[in-house]
Amino acid sequence: MKIGILYELKEGPWGGANQFLKALRNEWQAKGVFADNLADADAVLINSHHELQDIVRFKYNHPNIPIIHRVDGPVAPIRGINTGVDEIIYDISKRIADATIFQSEWSKECNKKLGMGTGQFETTILNAPDPKLFYSKNNGTHKGDKTKIILSSWASNTNKGFDIYHWLDENLDFSRYEVTFVGNAPTPFKNIKQISAVGSKELGDLLRQHDIYITASKKDPCSNALLEALHCGLPAIAMRDGGHPEIVGEGGEMFDTKEEIVNLLERVAGNLVSYQSRINLPNLNAVAYSYQVLIEGVVLEVQRGAYKPKTIEWWRSIKMVGYYNSRIVFSIVRRRIINLWKDLNSFS
């Protein structure tokens, strides 16, 4: 069986979906199940709402190849505004996708509450980072005189927790803690050391130089940044929201208010070995295999004639491309107007 990925993978530092799909591609290539040519694939994996025109065209031109939909979101709660992206995702699920993979149970429940429907094939599979880049060398000892904390985020979206990071910047005892932020922040910090976004290898090296990871992101279905830190052996202190509780498990602590973080830091810092030993996440090999199990099940049902992949007529494909493009344009324009309005209000 051969599996293709319809997604424009980018090298260097990028968003979580890109980093995970690159790692998944590499794993499938090593196993000999990756299709470089989508037309040669037995099934094709698509990601959320990305590459919309290519997805529609591929489905129209290759109606017998099942489409596996890796779902993100809901997007509106993450961005803080409804720009219509979730509606596009749900339309893809209804008209194009033959199977659905959710990244967390939280994501599945929230999407379904908002009206997303799925077919007979669906499952939930957490992500995992590339083990050659994100692995643990921790032995429970602190990396210096101070407890070294790291935060990271590719996106500068306010829902990524920057209000809480700035509170930490003002309120942590920096004679006891050393804090580093890696990525893109909307505003600078005073006491927290800031490093621009780096590639995965550099990020893995940075994570292993620290003791504890903190994330305050909100409505995050399956944070790649959090997974990378845990796979590097860092116990996590995470906001009790989104998919964080499913990911952290007993390998860290959850908080509801920013004031709780100080006491949680003391608890985790004093018990690093115990928390590290309880980090329990599937590795990339297991995650790739879970994807294969679902996809093979769909392909076998197609080959048996028990399931017929969805098809779209030529006129509907044209209509869908137009609809998706108009929603994306509307989404971009609306976000820019809202951001401009926020910027103008910040000066008043």
Give yes or no for residue 82 having a pLDDT over 80.
no
Residue 50 lies in a domain: yes
* Co-location of 39 and 62 in the same domain: yes
Cβ-contact 185, 160 below 8 angstroms: no
Cβ-contact 99, 119 below 8 angstroms: yes
Identity of residue 177: Y
The pLDDT of 10-37, averaged and rounded, is 89
Q: Which of 81-95, 125-139, 195-209, 272-286 shows the lowest per-residue confidence on average (mean pLDDT)? A: 81-95
* Co-location of 90 and 161 in the same domain: no
Residue 313 lies in a domain: yes
What total number of domains does the chain contain?
A: 2
Cβ-contact 35, 41 below 8 angstroms: yes
Rounded Cα gap, residues 332 and 182, in angstroms: 26
Where does the pLDDT of residue 321 fall: very low under 50, low under 70, confident under 90, or very high at 90 and above?
Answer: low
The whole domain housing 239 covers 147-277
Rounded Cα gap, residues 212 and 214, in angstroms: 7
Rounded Cα gap, residues 204 and 206, in angstroms: 5
Q: Among the three residues 277, 302, 329, which one is the final residue of a domain in this structure?
A: 277
Instruction: Kindly state the helix (H) or strand (E) to which residue 205 belongs, with its residue range.
Output: helix 200-208
Rounded Cα gap, residues 293 and 295, in angstroms: 6
* pLDDT at 328 (0 to 100): 57
Give yes or no for residue 97 having a pLDDT over 90.
yes
3-class SS at 10? Answer: coil
* Co-location of 340 and 242 in the same domain: no
Q: Among the three residues 277, 296, 330, which one is the final residue of a domain in this structure?
A: 277
Cβ-contact 328, 322 below 8 angstroms: no
3-class SS at 257? Answer: coil
225-253 tens-digit pLDDT: 999 999 999 999 999 999 999 999 999 99
* Co-location of 151 and 271 in the same domain: yes
Give yes or no for residue 140 having a pLDDT over 80.
no
Strand ordering across the sheet containing 252-255: 193-195, 177-183, 147-153, 212-215, 236-239, 252-255
* Co-location of 311 and 335 in the same domain: yes
Residue 142 lies in a domain: no
Most confident by average pLDDT, 111-125, 224-238, 307-321: 224-238
* Co-location of 258 and 292 in the same domain: no
* Co-location of 293 and 236 in the same domain: no
Dump the DSSP string for 119-157: -S-EEE------TTTS-----S--SSSSEEEEEEES---
The pLDDT of 26-42, averaged and rounded, is 96
Residue 138 lies in a domain: no
* Co-location of 202 and 230 in the same domain: yes
Instruction: Kindly state the helix (H) or strand (E) to which residue 93 belongs, with its residue range.
Output: helix 85-95
Percent of the chain with pLDDT over 90: 68
141-153 tens-digit pLDDT: 666 789 999 999 8
* Co-location of 76 and 106 in the same domain: yes
Domain with residue 178: its CATH number is 3.40.50.2000
Residue 135 lies in a domain: no
What's the gap between Cα 191 and its chain centre? Answer: 28
Give yes or no for residue 332 having a pLDDT over 60.
no
3-class SS at 98? Answer: coil
Q: Among the three residues 241, 262, 277, which one is the final residue of a domain in this structure?
A: 277
Identity of residue 106: W
* Co-location of 295 and 270 in the same domain: no
Rounded Cα gap, residues 126 and 128, in angstroms: 7
Structure-block tokens of residue 212: 């504890």
Percent of the chain with pLDDT over 70: 86
Structure-block tokens of residue 295: 């996809």
* Co-location of 267 and 292 in the same domain: no
Give yes or no for residue 312 having a pLDDT over 80.
no
Which residue do the tokens 């794993």 mark? 27
Give yes or no for residue 327 having a pLDDT over 80.
no
Residue 263 lies in a domain: yes
Residue 139 lies in a domain: no
* Co-location of 273 and 152 in the same domain: yes
Residue 204 lies in a domain: yes
